[in-house]
Amino acid sequence: MDYIIRAANVEDCKDLTRMIMELAEHEKVTDHVKITQKDLEQDGFSKNPFFHGIIAEVPEQHRSKEGHTKIGYALYFYSYSTWKGRAVYMVDLYVMPEFRGKGIGKALMSKVAQLGLAAGCTKLNFIVLNSNKSSLDFYFRQGCSDVTADLGYHYMSCSGEALERLAQP
């Protein structure tokens, strides 16, 4: 199948929003998604972006059943490890179900890895739901390891009222 992997631009935000919701539906967490197309436009394509993105796109003749040509994406940002130095964090990796198994997910992940290496990163980090066995198997086939199991880390988060309380002096 013909497809290209390219840098996302502000015009892709409508499709990014659609695919983010598709991923959330797949993971059964749509109630957690609060981001809007406007948020993506501002946060990813302003002077100081909070994230970067890449898009998988097919030619018109291979468009999805619903008529979409933008059929996958990866969002990422750069971070830092006090043990290993520069790192790239992949927030999402998604390919529409009808396009899976064609190497597109691997191509997206490979591009994030290439961009990370070009920026001097020594690690690619991301999270996966325990219940997403097919994705876990995919990542293990790519040579990734589960640091939760290997090192005993717990990914922690603080948000909402707890974050507001924490920010009080």
Cβ-based neighbours of 166, under 8 Å, separated by 6 or more: 158
Q: How wide is the angle at C-alpha 12 spanned by C-alphas 94 and 137, nearest 5°?
A: 10
How far lies 130's CA from each of 91, 133, 141, 148, in Å? Answer: 16, 7, 16, 11
Q: Which residues are catalytic?
A: 139
Q: Three-state DSSP class for 73?
A: strand
